């Protein structure tokens, strides 16, 4: 009897550090954020509030900065998730078809994963930016094709969105290529041999065999891609600086942080409401994704 009790105690003792950390920095904040989001007129200096209600939500939903952030985030998601998944699929197929140099290409393609987003973002900024001294390298290349110089960093909205999408795709590609190449490599080669014996055209092999076989991984990437893209923030900071609202390139997560801290900060209630709205959006999209994948993924 004592032995059993001892065992119980020991088990919980081993878990204790994890429980303490998770409780303080994950569970408590989760509950707290819900409370913050309904405390109206919260004052962080005096830590008082005037009432309970949904005012914070309605404020956030009417805030033009938030609406701009939502628009930016949705555009980013809609553009980058399908594009990056598609390009990653093409690259993985290409990688899968070669033998020499494959490892070299794989290593190169993985590099962005291990780089500091902020640091390399700076390089992208320099490549795209127009300054008094130079139009920047990208504009130089654009001129080869007869296109006029555009300031991608401080210029028109579409140009800034383009750079943001481009950089986001550049950053997320390693993970997707890695996952898809290993998914492709794990398809039993006998299926391809069987298809060859039956004179199957390569497009049909891809569409009828490869794609269904790797569809679970594609859906996994789409789902994680949606979640990741909805949380975009540091890529935008890297390109456009910390004052994203001024640049008109803020994201929802950026809005949350701006509400919390910095020159526009000090409003944890608004930040909480915005974060919960984001969470609701992500959850909805993920559930929809899962429902679609259930219908289309075979296994």
Partner 1 sequence: MKVVLENLTKRFPNRNKKGDDVIAVNNFNFEIPDGQLIGLLGPSGCGKSTTLNLISGLETPSSGRILFGEDDVTRLPPENRGVGLVFQNYALYPHLTVLENILFPLQNLRGADKLSKEDMLKRATEAARLVQIDGLLERKPSELSGGQQQRVAIARALVKMPRVLLLDEPLSNLDARLRLQTREEIRRIQQETGITTIFVTHDQEEAMSISDMIVVMEAGIVQQIGKPQDVYDDPANLFVAKFLGTPPINVFEGRLSGGRLMIGQEAVLSVPGAPDGIVWAGIRPEGFIPAADGEFTCDLNRVEVMGRDISVVCHHEKCAGAQIRAIISAESRPGDGAKTVRFRLKPRKVLLFDHESGARIPFEVK
Partner 2 sequence: MEKKIDFDLIERRAAARKRAFRAVDYFFLTLWALIVLFPFYWMLLSSVKTYSAYNSEYIPRFITLAPTLENYREAFTAVSLGRYFLNTIIFTVITTALMMVVIIPAAFAFARLEFAGRQIAFTLFLSLMMIPSELVVITNFVTITNLHLRNTFTGLILPSVTSVFYIYLLKENFEQIPDELYRAAKVDGTGDFKYLTRVMIPISKPTLVTIVILKVIECWNSYVWPRLITDDARYFLVSNGIQEIRENGFGRENIPAMMAAVVVVSAPLIALFLIFRNKVMAGVSRGGTKG
The stretch near partner 1 (CB under 8 A) out of 13-21, 25-33, 183-191, 259-267 is 183-191
Is residue 27 near partner 2 by the rule CB under 8 A? Answer: yes
Q: Which does 190 bind (CB under 5 to 8 A by kind): partner 2, partner 1, none?
A: partner 1
Min dist CB 217 to partner 1, Å, is: 14
Is residue 266 near partner 2 by the rule CB under 8 A? Answer: no
State which of residues 153, 164, 165, 237 lies at the interface with partner 2 (CB under 8 A). 237
Is residue 47 near partner 1 by the rule CB under 8 A? Answer: no
Please enumerate in sequence order all residues whose Cβ is within 8 A of that of 140, keeping only pairs 6 or more positions apart, or say none. none
Is residue 294 near partner 1 by the rule CB under 8 A? Answer: no
Site residues for partner 1, window 195-234 (CB under 8 A)? Answer: 195-201, 204, 208-209, 212-213
Is residue 186 near partner 2 by the rule CB under 8 A? Answer: no
Q: Which does 128 bind (CB under 5 to 8 A by kind): partner 2, partner 1, none?
A: none
Q: Which does 233 bind (CB under 5 to 8 A by kind): partner 2, partner 1, none?
A: partner 2
Tell me which residues touch partner 1 (CB under 8 A). Answer: 188, 190-191, 193-201, 204, 208-209, 212-213, 298-299
């Amino acid at each position: 009897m004592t032995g059993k009790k001892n065992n119980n105690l020991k088990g919980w003792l081993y878990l204790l550090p994890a429980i303490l950390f998770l409780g303080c920095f994950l569970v408590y904040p989760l509950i707290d954020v819900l409370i913050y989001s309904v405390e109206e007129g919260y004052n962080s200096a005096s830590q008082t509030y005037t009432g309970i209600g949904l005012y914070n939500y309605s404020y956030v939903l009417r805030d033009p900065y938030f609406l701009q952030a939502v628009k930016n985030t949705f555009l980013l998601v809609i553009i980058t998730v399908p594009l990056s998944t598609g390009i990653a699929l093409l690259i993985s197929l290409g990688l899968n078809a070669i033998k020499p140099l494959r490892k070299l290409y794989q290593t190169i393609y993985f590099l962005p994963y291990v780089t500091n987003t902020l640091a390399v973002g700076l390089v992208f900024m320099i490549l795209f930016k127009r300054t008094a001294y130079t139009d920047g390298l990208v504009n130089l290349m654009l001129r080869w094709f007869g296109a006029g110089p555009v300031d991608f960093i401080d210029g028109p909205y579409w140009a800034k969105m383009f750079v943001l999408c481009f950089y986001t795709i550049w950053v997320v590609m390693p993970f997707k290529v890695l996952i898809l190449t290993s998914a492709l490599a794990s398809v039993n080669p006998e299926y391809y041999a069987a298809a060859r014996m039956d004179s199957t055209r390569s497009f049909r092999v891809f569409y009828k065999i490869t794609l269904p076989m790797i569809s679970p991984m594609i859906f996994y990437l789409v789902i994680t891609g949606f979640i990741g893209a909805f949380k975009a923030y540091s890529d935008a900071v890297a390109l456009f600086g910390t004052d994203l609202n001024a640049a008109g390139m803020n994201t929802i997560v950026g809005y949350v942080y701006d509400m919390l801290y910095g020159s526009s900060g000090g409003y944890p209630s608004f930040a909480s409401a915005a974060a919960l709205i984001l969470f609701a959006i992500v959850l909805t999209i993920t559930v929809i994704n899962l429902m679609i994948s259930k219908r289309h993924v075979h296994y």
